[in-house]
A and B are shown apart, each in its own frame.
Chain A
Amino acid sequence: MSGPNDPPSNLRVLLAEDSAILRDGLAALLTRRGHTVTAVGDGVALEQEVARLVREESQPDVVVADIRMPPTFTDEGLRAVLSLRSRHPDLPVLLFSQYVETRYASRLLAGDARGVGYLLKDRVADVRDFVDALGRVSRGATVLDPEVVSQLMGSARQDDAMERLSAREREVLGLMAQGRSNGAVAELLHLSYGAVEKNVAAIFTKLDLPQDAADHRRVLAVLRHLGV
């Protein structure tokens, strides 16, 4: 049952999750959609598995990691992912957690934010959106949970540049932060595509972002927006 809008099937997904129920459920869900899933239960195993896969020259297309895992149940997943990113900067990672911690998001986004995602576990309820987000991360997009975004926005209010944005522009920026394309933003805000483009251009100008690769500029805008 793959439609034309579905993300590329047959991603090699490496999943790190300690809860057996979720791990098995997620693996089954992704497998049914034609992806190949390797699952591990903690941060150390995750790093070892990546090392093994890289040696075998079958680097995963995307890593999905729970943040809180054994042995200390604090931020093992995040630490494992950060250490992986320092060794393999182009390895797309999606953090997956029951809580939103802006501190975690800041640490995750402090480096190169391309191919990085941070979603609440609740998002798997909308299976299509979730799988879609996974596909976008694997292609190098930044995907942040709306919850993460609103929390980060709460902490990023003091920025002068942000003050110059209009309410609509902030709304657009919030959706960009979630990794939405202009088309998707237009659809969600019931605007015309052109109006969204205008808003995006205004955002770039107001935030003094240089005119080079447009995609990268989007990420920069989002990061500025998040105060990272």
Chain B
Amino acid sequence: MTVEPRAAGPAARGSTARPHPRFLTAPFASRTWREQGYLALMLLLAPFAFAYAVFTVSLTAVVAVTVVGLFVSGTVLLGARGWGGTYRGLARNLLDVDLPVPASWTRPRGFWRTLGSLLGDATAWRALLFMFVTFPLTLLSFVTSVTFLVVGLGAITYGIWYRFLPPQLGTDGEMHVGAQFGLSYYVDTPPRIALAALAGLLVFFCWPWLLRMFTLLFRVLTVALLSPTRASLRVAELERSRTGAVDDADARLRSIERDLHDGTQARLVAVAMQLGEAREHLADGGDVAQAAELLDTAHTSTKDALTELRELARGIHPPALDSGLTVALETLAARSALPVTVDVDRAVEAGGRLAPALESIAYFTVAELVTNAAKHARATGVWVLVEPLDAARAESAHAGSPRAGSAGAGGNAVRIRVRDDGRGGARVVLPDGSGLRSGLAGLAERVRSVDGTFDLSSPAGGPTVVTVILPTTTPSGRA
């Protein structure tokens, strides 16, 4: 299943990027005309959308007696998602309402489940409701707004065109050329014409605000009925992070396998070869000096293989992690070629050890960032700060993010901040299909797999600061 990247970004719910036009310039602002355009396009769509909606509902009602009929109407219902997409596009282009796209419909296994999922597709039903509701609203708002616009413009220019009106006999017995209000009120004297122009101006300048009022209704309806529900966003996020976690685990296994294959295994084969040859030399009473030389090489190779194996084992699970995150990070700092300052708030492990998976993610995140700082950022020092974060602060620290709720929901979190004084410019490079990706993307993926957040700030010239927030209470449904 695919989820457009937009779904992951901060949801700009109904936000308007453009500044509000002032009263006097409002009728000429592009925003006003785009809103009028929106209504016009909605009017074009409305009859078809309404017909589609009525058709879908009545079809469902009629054919519901047969299973095949239900399938047909379910498929037609699914088409409402397409309408929803069109409306979202209109709202995005003309109303500046940028909504995340709901997760696409995925066919579940099994006949009855497919049917249930078709007919119970909330996204489609909500789109259908939108099509129903907007039909009268579109008619009303378009007619009203166009009336305002036309009347306003007409009254302003009345002084020019009123003279072409047919003359008519008034009750006062005189011929009048002009619009008639009531029985004997003719707009044909200069003060009255000026009054008409004034009224026209008033109407004309009111038109944008009327328009704004109507489009506000459309905005509200669009956000309410065409955006993905919170639950579906959460599902999409979970599916994405699960895929990420699986990919990440796979990538790690691959790299371990490659290290074993190209490093240790090759070295051991070489050792076996050298020992085998030395043994032959000795058995045949051959060149003892040659045998000694071979043994010496084999000895060196064995030590190299041991070092490699130790590094590899540490890469899988650092032994220091058995004594807790604090000890592991201090060991990491001590082993690092760069000066690394580690500050772990005692409160982090005050209530006992963190979950092993979290400890491991925290440790490897710091380890990789320290390596990056040394390798890419040319830093002279790294500072690591690990501190607890209570739920309220986790919320406020990440308000506005779609995962704001998850990082602190019902529990606490740990914030890890890694800063270096290097040259900055680090970027999270998304995988490009070649199987290679930046280490940062892998880290972010791993952090997300436990519902954490990964935040990178690395302006050119530095410093690079990575803030990772890991929820310490795992959400239900995850071991």
Report if B270 contacts A (CB, 8 A). Answer: yes
**Closest A-chain residue to B304, C-beta based?**
A21
Q: How many Å lie between the Cα of A22 and that of B268 in the bound state?
A: 9
CB-based contact B270/A127 at 8 Å? no
Q: How many Å lie between the Cα of A68 and that of B254 in the bound state?
A: 14
Report if A98 contacts B (CB, 8 A). Answer: yes
Report if A121 contacts B (CB, 8 A). Answer: yes
**Closest B-chain residue to A128, C-beta based?**
B280
Chain A 78-107, CB-CB to B under 8 Å as 1, else 0, gives: 000000000000000000001000000000
CB-based contact A127/B301 at 8 Å? no
**Closest A-chain residue to B297, C-beta based?**
A25
Report if B265 contacts A (CB, 8 A). Answer: yes
Q: Which of A3, A21, A26 contacts B301 (CB 8 A)?
A: A21
Residues from chain B with Cβ under 8 Å of A98 in the complex: 261, 265-266, 269
**B422 → chain A, closest Cβ, in Å?**
31
**Closest B-chain residue to A99, C-beta based?**
B261
CB-based contact B276/A125 at 8 Å? yes
Report if B431 contacts A (CB, 8 A). Answer: no
Report if A124 contacts B (CB, 8 A). Answer: yes
Chain A 116-133, CB-CB to B under 8 Å as 1, else 0, gives: 000001101111100000
Query: Interface size for chain A: under 10, 10 to 19, 20 to 34, or 35 or more residues?
Result: 20 to 34
Report if B284 contacts A (CB, 8 A). Answer: yes
Report if B464 contacts A (CB, 8 A). Answer: no
Report if B170 contacts A (CB, 8 A). Answer: no
**Closest B-chain residue to A20, C-beta based?**
B266
User: How many residues on the B side are at the interface (Cβ–Cβ under 8 A)?
Assistant: 21
CB-based contact B275/A19 at 8 Å? no
Q: How many Å lie between the Cα of A125 and that of B273 in the bound state?
A: 4
Q: From residue 246 to 292 of chain B, which have CB atoms closer than 8 A to chain A?
A: 258, 261-262, 265-267, 269-270, 272-277, 280-281, 284, 286-287, 290
Interface of A is mostly: helix
With A1-B287, A125-B273, A126-B276: A21-B266 Cβ-Cβ less than 8 Å = yes
With A68-B261, A73-B258, A98-B265: A25-B273 Cβ-Cβ less than 8 Å = yes
Residues from chain B with Cβ under 8 Å of A223 in the complex: none
Q: Which of B258, B272, B284 contacts A122 (CB 8 A)?
A: B272
Residues from chain B with Cβ under 8 Å of A228 in the complex: none
Report if A165 contacts B (CB, 8 A). Answer: no
**Closest A-chain residue to B283, C-beta based?**
A128
Chain A 11-44, CB-CB to B under 8 Å as 1, else 0, gives: 0000000110110011001001000000000000
Residues from chain B with Cβ under 8 Å of A21 in the complex: 266-267, 270, 301
Q: How many Å lie between the Cα of A25 and that of B280 in the bound state?
A: 16
Q: Which of A18, A19, A29 contacts B277 (CB 8 A)?
A: A29
CB-based contact A125/B272 at 8 Å? yes
Closest CB pairs A-B (n = 10): A125-B272, A19-B266, A124-B273, A127-B276, A125-B276, A25-B270, A121-B269, A21-B270, A127-B277, A1-B286
Residues of A within 8 A of B (CB): 1, 3, 18-19, 21-22, 25-26, 29, 32, 68, 73, 98, 121-122, 124-128
Sample of 4 further A-B pairs with CB below 8 A, known A19-B262, A121-B266, A124-B272 = A1-B286, A3-B284, A26-B273, A32-B290
A-B contact pairs, 22 of them (CB 8 A): A1-B281, A1-B286, A1-B287, A3-B284, A19-B266, A21-B266, A25-B274, A26-B273, A32-B277, A68-B261, A98-B261, A98-B266, A121-B266, A122-B272, A124-B269, A124-B273, A125-B269, A125-B273, A125-B275, A127-B277, A127-B280, A128-B280
